[in-house]
Amino acid sequence: MLRTNFLGMELENPVIIAAGPWNRDGKALKESIEAGAGAVVTESIVSDTMLDVRPRIAYDGYGAQNIRLYSDIQIEGWEHEMNIAKSNGGIVIASVSAHTPSELAYLASKMEKFGADAIELSVSNPMGESLEVVASHAEVVFEMTKEVVSSVKLPVIVKLSQNTTNISKVAKAVKAAGGSGVSAINTVRGILGVDIENAAPMLSTYGGISGEYIRPLGLASVATIAQTVDIPICGIGGIGSGRNALEYMMLGASVVQIGTAAMINGRTEVRKIVSEIESWLSENRIESIEQVKGRALHNLKSFDEMKIEPAVSTVNGVPCTENCGKCVVSCMYHAIEKEENTIKVDKTKCTGCGLCTFVCPAKKLKLAW
């Protein structure tokens, strides 16, 4: 039911543990594989390692900010780490990052030699300006991808940034250069928050925001790519449940990656997410995960396709949540009133904005035409 062929790699399930410090070496990668991941991605490997700053990770209960840059293991050291990672089998994707096509190709070739099953090019970095600029230029991404594709025989995936004006154009460049697929999205440049008592940001520089905050951005990016270019997609960003994973797949992703959820709650999140996906498929009598892919795309329209129709909010017989009144408070058009325990909608005032249908915890309201 969950077996997935992604770029020629046979995955036991479509949940991959993303690049990050949780996959920092061979032992950590092996643990991620043993946790039940369909595949794992190494922490991003570079030519020149750097010392970590302290502190470097912040979390506020919903999302994280991370300013760790890259793997602190030199490229030659990855031969030993890959031997450990793959000692009991499993699929390992090598994440590599560099500023020039030739350097990327060199790192990719080394990781191919060391036993990687695929290459993921990290062409954006929220902590620095230079690679974030690269991710916005389709021409540069094309050259980087083309150089790596010509240097290795493995599938080459390009991890795209949401911080670009036209992500579909960049995805098209990846395909034109011979790239096998794309991952979307990388963390988003941001500041998680400010300690107002001490007038200090939670971390003292800009960093990569991940977790729930970026899921809407990731979903939009995956859908945009799926609607404009025929290329396999790995969805990333704020996946903490099986439903989140299915959202990405219904918008066109073949597989997904999790990072923050595993970092905060441990690698056991993989089995939880996989189990939730499997349960949903069984409940809905869907025999293969492949049948989910892209199912929501036909319901996604451009703004110009939206029709102005006389939809108004209507009330069903579901009892209200006690002491609620959220629909009344949130109605900007004063169309909803509560009389004793009864909700009434003035259809002459209701403009069909739909907000009440989302804020009502009892799902008592819906739009009707």
Of 45, 23, 20, 19, nearest in space to 34 by CA: 23
For residue 127, pLDDT beyond 70: no
Q: What is the pLDDT of residue 162?
A: 87
Q: Calculate mean pLDDT across residues 24-49.
A: 96
Q: What is the pLDDT of residue 258?
A: 98
Q: What is the pLDDT of residue 131?
A: 52
Q: What is the pLDDT of residue 129?
A: 54
Of 12, 57, 19, 2, nearest in space to 35 by CA: 12
Q: Are 314 and 366 in contact (CB under 8 A)?
A: yes
Angle (nearest 5°) at CA 63 between 164 and 48:
60
Cα 263 to chain centroid distance, Å, stands at 14
* 183 — pLDDT class (breaks 50, 70, 90): very high
* 339 — pLDDT class (breaks 50, 70, 90): confident
For residue 133, pLDDT beyond 90: no
DSSP 71-137: -SS-GGGHHHHHHHHTBTB--EEEEE--SSHHHHHHHHHHHHHTT-SEEEEE---TTSHHHHHHHT-
Q: Calculate mean pLDDT across residues 117-134.
A: 76
Is residue 89 left, alpha or beta, with left meaning phi > 0 and alpha meaning psi from -120 to 50? left
Q: What is the pLDDT of residues 302-336, one digit of tens each?
A: 888 887 778 899 999 899 988 899 999 999 999 99
CA 2 – CA 12 distance, rounded (Å) = 6
Dihedral of alpha carbons 29, 32, 36, 37, sign: negative
Kind plus residue range of the DSSP H or E element containing 233: strand 233-236
Estimate the crossing angle of helix 242-250 against helix 215-228, to 10 degrees.
Answer: 30
CA 366 – CA 357 distance, rounded (Å) = 5
* 132 — pLDDT class (breaks 50, 70, 90): low
Of 367, 250, 364, 253, nearest in space to 310 by CA: 367
Output phi, psi for 133, to 5 deg: -70, -40
* 128 — pLDDT class (breaks 50, 70, 90): low
For residue 166, pLDDT beyond 60: yes
Average pLDDT, the chain: 94
Q: Calculate mean pLDDT across residues 263-290.
A: 97
Q: Are 66 and 207 in contact (CB under 8 A)?
A: yes
User: Comparing 101-105, 232-236, 312-316, which segment has the lowest mean pLDDT?
Assistant: 312-316
Q: What is the pLDDT of residues 1-16, one digit of tens each?
A: 999 999 999 999 999 9
Estimate the crossing angle of helix 78-85 against helix 26-34, to 10 degrees.
Answer: 20
- CB-count exposure of residue 315 (10 Å: 0-12, 13-18, 19+): middle
Of 250, 368, 232, nearest in space to 300 by CA: 250
Choice between 50 and 188, residue whose per-residue pLDDT is larger = 188
For residue 287, pLDDT beyond 80: yes
Q: What is the pLDDT of residue 126?
A: 67
Q: What is the pLDDT of residues 57-69, one digit of tens each?
A: 999 999 999 998 7
Residue recorded with tokens 């890259």: 70
